[in-house]
Structure 1
């Protein structure tokens, strides 16, 4: 398990959100189930470098107060789902918090593109990520 994924899981646990890393069929999506206050991350449905963002996104559903079951989809924000876009943004904020806590973080040298590529964040969130760093400075 990489350190970013471990940090994201600990963030969830610190917010009383359960995390289950699952070894499911690759065609099954990761999901959050609000009533159980738990996220289920299918490690076979994603590349390893995608898992921190997928996990943060699913945690975002719980933190945003979304009800029911929410299944991860790379197409969520493209299809115009406000709920999915909100979960993406909360997930991005979680991962940005991770970066700001690193010892060598310097907002003057933060590269939004590098941040987004390292966490497999969709390009459509570039302006949102730039806004986060503006707020940090």
Structure 2
């Protein structure tokens, strides 16, 4: 499982080095390609097998549901495959960097089955919102069956 938070710097070629903790997990699972997409003001990066599972689930969403159509349109249209190089770096495509407001400082999160890349500014705003809504969030999570 991917978990933890790390700060990274985008280099002049648009690359970041995947944190070694995440790299060990990815390489240990035979992952050489990540599928990146824009969601929630950040970039989500999925190992290819997890991505394929998401695609299968999305195919079963009803075409008659407008929210499903809009989600698929946004989530899958911005998807791009990126290769891990021999030094554990990935290139973050310019289009995704622009959508996520990523310029230099990046917060890299492990979120169980995927990695999230946040601009430092967007992450700070997200943390402030999470702290403001902490009680409400806990109640919503409990309604999903997870008691904290």
Q: TM-score range by the shorter chain?
A: under 0.3
Q: TM-score, normalised by structure 2?
A: 0.24
Q: TM-score, normalised by structure 1?
A: 0.25
Structure possessing the higher relative contact order (Cα contacts under 8 Å, 6 or more residues apart) = 2
The structure with the greater share of residues assigned to strand is 2
The structure with the greater share of residues assigned to helix is 1
